[in-house]
Amino acid sequence: MYKPQAFSQYNSNIKRLVFISIVLALIVVSLGAYTRLTHAGLGCPDWPGCYGQLKVPETSQQLAQAQQAFPEQEVVAHKAWNEMIHRYFAGSLGLLILAIALLSIKNRKQGTPLFLPLFILLMVIFQAALGMWTVTMKLMPIVVMGHLLGGFTTLCLLFLLYLRLSNKRLPSSDFSVKKYGKFAFIGVFILAGQISLGGWTSSNYAALTCVELPICQAGWQQQLTFEGSFDPIPPVKETYEYGHLNHAQRVTVHVMHRLGAIVTALYLAWLALMVFRKSQTQFFQNSALLLGSALTIQLALGISNIWFSLPLAVAVSHNIIAAVLMLTLIRLTYSLKRKI
């Protein structure tokens, strides 16, 4: 494990940049969800610009050029702006992460972590490629889900780097909860799997396939079919916008997401309860409360998505709180696994 070192001014500056990057990454994840949920993923038919321009065409001359370059697609300004704003923020985040990586290389002798910033930079480059493929492959579900997970991964890695750069001392007497570190680590993978199921549900337009609680409407058991429901490479289509799966396949995808939510909720609720009960310090009790609170909010948002038929604000919040839930779990895991 990483052993905290005395912090120099260099490390403090990088830490501030990392914090800004975390905020920006959370905004990018939120904008990505908003873009996806407003069906604006193909608002711009090219990448990285929009209709061959750096911004959305607005003047009559720009619109004429866009129509000439892409005669098969009409310019829908609000969708195009949703997509481009997302790209502007993502590009800014990429530049900030590049600066962090360069500073980490420069200041490596001052104890600044090096491998993690470079890995995050590589992750951002791959994420940019996924953003391009999202457009060029016409919203192929595996690419859309990969782009979503890439955003989450970038955010989580930045948060992990922030924890690495922090020199906050942990309680030295609370050995009673250290054994739950391995369970928290397992919880990270369980939650990541559930987020992946959510991404697959969203990218296949299956979010409103089941409209009743707790699992689905009557007869869902007879509709379950795993044939084609989770195939990473779908049949060739001109576009995958609005989905390509049949009803039974979408029911299967949605039901698996619901069942995954139940498993994830029970596991994380148990983990939060055990850490809270066994801990002898305020730090870990508060960490458990944060995890439990984020989990409760996330469950309430998930239920609200079904109850109120996927309102945009609730659906976007469901993505944001999923990210917050993962960050709280990573913080708890890091704290439990960290050597005192």
Judge if 89 and 183 occupy the same domain: no
Active site residue ranges? 83
Torsion angles phi and psi, residue 313, rounded to 5: -60, -40
- C-alpha–C-alpha distance, residues 172 and 34, integer Å: 43
209 in helix, strand or coil? Answer: coil
Judge if 191 and 250 occupy the same domain: yes
Structural domain ending residue among the three candidates 168, 194, 219: 168
Structural domain ending residue among the three candidates 136, 168, 200: 168
Closest C-alpha to 41, from 153, 148, 123: 148
Judge if 185 and 88 occupy the same domain: no
Judge if 314 and 261 occupy the same domain: yes
213 in helix, strand or coil? Answer: coil
What is residue 339's predicted lDDT score, i.e. its pLDDT? 56
CB atoms within 10 A of CB 214: 11
Judge if 76 and 154 occupy the same domain: yes
- C-alpha–C-alpha distance, residues 159 and 340, integer Å: 20
Whether the Cβ atoms of residue 53 and residue 65 lie closer than 8 Å to each other: yes
Judge if 340 and 263 occupy the same domain: yes
Judge if 89 and 237 occupy the same domain: no
Amino acid identity, position 149: L
Give the residues across from 237 on adjacent strands.
Answer: none
Structural domain ending residue among the three candidates 168, 187, 214: 168
Q: What 8-state DSSP symbol labels residue 128?
A: H
Single pTM value for the model: 0.93
What is residue 111's predicted lDDT score, i.e. its pLDDT? 72
Closest C-alpha to 106, from 192, 13, 43: 13
Look at the block and give the residue holding tokens 């750096």.
Answer: 54
| Structural domain containing residue 140 | 1-168
Judge if 187 and 164 occupy the same domain: no
Burial of 316 from C-beta contacts in 10 A (0-12 / 13-18 / 19+): buried
What is residue 135's predicted lDDT score, i.e. its pLDDT? 96
Judge if 219 and 303 occupy the same domain: yes
pLDDT in tens, the chain (340 residues): 444 444 456 677 899 999 999 999 999 999 999 999 999 999 999 999 999 999 999 999 999 999 999 998 889 999 999 999 999 999 999 999 999 999 999 888 777 789 999 999 999 999 999 999 999 999 999 999 999 999 999 999 999 999 998 866 665 557 789 899 999 999 999 999 999 999 999 999 999 999 999 999 999 999 999 999 999 999 999 999 999 999 999 999 999 999 999 999 999 999 999 999 999 899 999 999 999 999 999 999 999 999 999 999 999 999 999 999 999 999 999 999 875 5
Judge if 234 and 322 occupy the same domain: yes
Q: What angle do CA 195, 157, 282 make, to 5 degrees?
A: 85
Judge if 52 and 69 occupy the same domain: yes
Cα→Cα distances 225→77, 124, 195, 212, 229, Å:
39, 36, 21, 19, 7
Kindly write down the DSSP assignment for every residue of 273-314, as one continuous string: HHHHHH--SHHHHHHHHHHHHHHHHHHHHHHHHHHTT--HHH
Judge if 209 and 150 occupy the same domain: no
- C-alpha–C-alpha distance, residues 226 and 222, integer Å: 12
When divided into structural domains, the chain yields a total of 2
Omega before 48 within 30 of 0, i.e. cis: yes
Whether the Cβ atoms of residue 297 and residue 236 lie closer than 8 Å to each other: no
Q: Which helix (H) or strand (E) holds 34?
A: helix 9-37
- C-alpha–C-alpha distance, residues 258 and 212, integer Å: 11
